Amino acid sequence: MVARASERSGPGSAITCASIPEGPRVVPEESPQYNAVAMEKHRTKSARRPPASGAKTRMSLPDATPLLLAPGLNATEVDSILKPYNIRATQEADRNIQAMAGEPHTRRQLAAILPELLVATAKTADPDHAFNHWERLLSGGVNRPAMLDYLRASPRMLDLLCTIFGNSDALAFTLIRDPMLIYWLAEHGLSKPPSRGGMESILRQHLDGVSMTELKLDALRRFRRREMLRIGVRDLFRLASVEETTASLSDLAAVLIHAAYGIVDADLRSQYGVPVHRGRDGKLIETGFAVIGMGKLGGHELNYSSDVDLIYVYESCEGEIRQGSHSPRRHATAPSGPISCEEYFELLARRLTRALSDQTREGYVFRVDLRLRAEGTVGQLARSLDRYAKYYRTRGQAWERLALLKAWPIAGSSKVGGAFVRMVRRFVWESRPRLLPSLNHARELIHDVRAVKEMIDDRMVERGHERRNVKLGIGGIREIEFLVQTIQVIAGAHLPGIVNRQTLSSLKRFHAHRLLSEREFKRLVEAYRFLRDVEHKLQMIHDVQTHALPDDQEELAQCAIRMGYEAHDRAAGLARFRADHALHTRHVNQAFRALFYSPESSTLLKATLQAVAARGRVGSTKQSVKRRA
C-alpha cells in the first residue's frame, strides 16, 4: 500500500468551466413514472434539482480524509470509513485511492475533493467499479495536479465523472482513453440534444484536409465515440427522454453511414469510374445508390448498442461504368478489367459494410446486419429497384411486410431511396389493395405473425430468458411492435393516418383514431418507454448488444439504480423496479394475447375493422355523389 502523508494543504488554483446542466447529483433517487405526462414532469424536476447540500449529507457519514492524510490506518478503520459509502471491497477501494493520490502535493489535492467524490460515487450503480476507473484516469497520461485542481474548482464536473464511472464502463473508458473529452463536455454543455445538422457540419470539419480513406474512416470512429459519450451522459442525468435519446442515436447513425458511403463511393469511383445508365429520355445519367435503414434505425428509434439493419439498393442494372479523363486507380486486390454495374454496386455494398463494421484501434462505426435484404443471408448484398420489386411481388413473406413498414432512406441518393420506399409500400398492402379488410383476412396475418412470435418464444425458453429479455421475452418490446405493425398492415391502406415508422408515434395515432382506449394507450406507452429505458441502461454498461436482465440480484439492483430507483436503499429500489417491470410486461402481454390469441373478441381489432368500414362507407358515398353529378 502506498504510504500516507500527514500534512494538509489548501485548495489548488481555481479553473473555470463552461456551463454544465443543473443535473441531479448522480441519478435521481425517486423511481421514474413511465407515462407521457408524469415522465416529463419527473425529468423536468430532476433536471432542475440543485446539487444536494454536502454538509447535511455528510453529517452521518465518516470523514474520509484520514484515508489520505493519516498514516497507518488498519483494515478495520478503512472498513469503517468506506462501507457507509456503499463500497463493498473496501481494501481494494483503498488501494485505488492511494494510487490516485500520487505524490504529497497531489495527495493533498485529492484529499480536498475526496469527501464530495465519495458522496457522489455512493449514489451510482457500482461505486467499487467507479474507483477502478478513477485510478485509471489519474494514474494514466493525464496531468494529475491540473486535473485535481480542475475538479476542485468544478464540482459539477466531479459529479459528472462520478456518474459516468459508477454507471457505464463503456463511457468511462471513452474518457480514460481521451481525457480531453472531459473539458469538451464542460465547454459544449449538455442541456440540448445534438442536432443532425450540427453533427453533419462538425463531421465535415473533421474530414476536411484528410485524404487517405482509412484515416477518414478512423475520424468517423472517433466522432462516434465522442457523440455516444454526449448522448449517454444526457441519458444518465435524465436530461433526455427516451424519444430524444433514440432520435439522437438514430441521427448519429445516419450521419456516419452517409459519410462512410461518400468516402467508400469516392474511392471506388477513382478505381473503376462512374456507373451510368440511360434515363427515360435516352440520355446517360449517373446510376444512384441508396442505403435503406430498417428496424429501429429506419424507425428513428435506435438503441445504444444496436446493429444497424440495412438494405442496399441501386437505380438500374442496365448500364455501364464510364471512366473519366484520368485512368482509374486500381487497388492491388481489385478485379482486373472492366466490371458491370451489378458488380460495381455489389463491391460498393461489401466495402461499405466493411468500412462500418471493421474494428481498428479507433473502434468501429456500427455493426451491420444485412439479413433483412431479399433472400436474407444467401441473397446479393445489393439489388436494383426493379429486381427488388420482382422479389417482393413473387416471393415476399408476411414478416417482410411488417419489417418494411420501418424502411427509410438514410444515405446515398434520396431519389432512389424514395422510389424504394414507395415501391415497398405497395407490397405491404398489395394483397388486397382495394378490398376492405375482413376478419378472415385479418386472422390470416395474425396467425402468420403469431407463428413468428412463438418461434421467438421457444428460443427464449431454451435460454431461460422468457421473463428476463425486455426485447423478445413475454411482455417485451417486440410484442408491442408486432401489435402495432400488424394493425398497420391490416388497415393502413384504408387508414393511412395510423401508419408511422415510430412505435410511440403509431400508438398515439391509434389512440387518436380511437382504436385504443385511453387506458390501453397509456399502458402501452408507459410500458414501451420503461422497457426501452431498461434496454438502454443494460447496453450502456459495456456497449454490448444485450436485452436480458441479469439473474444476479446485485447486478439487477445496479440496473435499477441506473434507471433512477433508490440508491440509498438498494433493496427497496430493487423491489420497486421488479414490481414495475412485472406490471408493464403483464400489461403488454395482455394486449398482445388479446389480439393474437383471441382476435374474434379483440377490442383493438374490432375498432380497427369498424374504422375501416366507416371510411369505406364515406368513400362509397363520395363516389356515388360524383357519379350523379
Q: Which of 50-64, 311-325, 566-580, 611-625 has the lowest mean pLDDT?
A: 50-64
Residue 44 pLDDT exceeds 90? no
Residue 71 contacts residue 6 (beta carbons within 8 Å): yes
Tens-place pLDDT, residues 183-224: 999 998 788 898 999 999 999 999 998 999 999 999 999 999
Placement of cell 398515439 in the chain = 508
- CA 207, 543, 233, 89 torsion: positive or negative? negative
Average the pLDDT over 32-51 and give the result: 36
* Reported confidence tier of residue 45, pLDDT bands at 50, 70, 90: very low
Query: How confident is the model at residue 87, as a pLDDT?
Result: 97
Query: How confident is the model at residue 56, as a pLDDT?
Result: 39
Q: Dump strand ranges (E) for 228-370.
A: 274-278, 284-286, 289-294, 308-314, 319-322, 368-369
User: 234: number of CA atoms within 13 Å, CB side?
Assistant: 26
CA pair distance 489, 493, nearest whole angstrom:
8
Q: Give this prediction's pTM.
A: 0.88
Does the domain at 206-428 match CATH 3.90.190.20? Answer given as: no
Cell of 114: 475526496
b/e per residue 88-113 (b: at least 16 CB within 10 A)? eebeebbbbbbbbbbeebbbbbbbbb
Tens-place pLDDT, residues 556-592: 999 999 999 999 899 999 999 999 999 999 999 999 9
Residue 67 pLDDT exceeds 50? yes
Query: How confident is the model at residue 2, as a pLDDT?
Result: 41
Residue 485 pLDDT exceeds 80? yes
Q: Which residues neighbour 617 within 8 Å (Cβ) at sequence distance 6 or greater? A: none
Angle at which helix 570-596 crosses helix 477-491, to 10 degrees, equals: 30
Intervals of CATH 3.30.460.10 along the chain? 206-428
Average the pLDDT over 462-490 and give the result: 97
pLDDT > 90 fraction of the chain, expressed in percent and rounded:
79
Which SS3 state, helix, strand or coil, does residue 10 take? coil
CA pair distance 250, 304, nearest whole angstrom:
10
Q: What are phi and psi of 415, to 5 degrees?
A: -65, -50
Average the pLDDT over 56-67 and give the result: 79
Query: How confident is the model at residue 331, as a pLDDT?
Result: 55
In the predicted model, what is the mean pLDDT of the chain?
A: 88
Query: How confident is the model at residue 42, as a pLDDT?
Result: 37
Tens-place pLDDT, residues 170-191: 999 999 999 999 999 999 878 8
Angle at which helix 553-563 crosses helix 518-542, to 10 degrees, equals: 110
Question: Cα dist. 266→259, 352, 364, 455, 460 in Å?
Answer: 11, 11, 20, 43, 44
Tens-place pLDDT, residues 103-141: 999 999 999 999 999 999 999 999 999 999 999 999 998
Query: How confident is the model at residue 451, as a pLDDT?
Result: 97
Average the pLDDT over 47-74 and give the result: 68
Residue 148 contacts residue 9 (beta carbons within 8 Å): no
Tens-place pLDDT, residues 343-364: 999 999 999 999 999 999 999 9
CA pair distance 490, 486, nearest whole angstrom:
6
Query: How confident is the model at residue 15, as a pLDDT?
Result: 29
Question: Cα dist. 77→5, 80, 81, 131, 359 in Å?
Answer: 17, 5, 6, 19, 46
CA pair distance 264, 174, nearest whole angstrom:
27
Q: Which residues neighbour 470 within 8 Å (Cβ) at sequence distance 6 or greater? A: 476, 477, 531, 534, 535, 538, 547, 548, 549
Give which of 255, 267, 346 is closest to 297, Cα–Cα. 255
CA pair distance 455, 441, nearest whole angstrom:
22
Residue 100 pLDDT exceeds 90? yes
CATH number of this structure's domain 439-614, picked from the four choices 3.40.30.10, 3.40.50.720, 1.20.120.330, 3.90.245.10: 1.20.120.330
Cell of 220: 468517423
Cell of 143: 496531468
Query: How confident is the model at residue 430, as a pLDDT?
Result: 72
CA pair distance 504, 373, nearest whole angstrom:
25
Residue 447 contacts residue 461 (beta carbons within 8 Å): no
Residue 6 contacts residue 107 (beta carbons within 8 Å): no
Query: How confident is the model at residue 77, as a pLDDT?
Result: 97
Which SS3 state, helix, strand or coil, does residue 290 take? strand
Placement of cell 454507471 in the chain = 167
Q: What are phi and psi of 316, to 5 degrees?
A: -160, 145
Query: How confident is the model at residue 50, as a pLDDT?
Result: 33
Average the pLDDT over 386-394 and give the result: 96
Question: Cα dist. 621→115, 534, 607, 609 in Å?
Answer: 76, 49, 21, 18
CA pair distance 542, 537, nearest whole angstrom:
10
* Reported confidence tier of residue 432, pLDDT bands at 50, 70, 90: low
Residue 62 pLDDT exceeds 60? yes
Query: How confident is the model at residue 623, as a pLDDT?
Result: 52
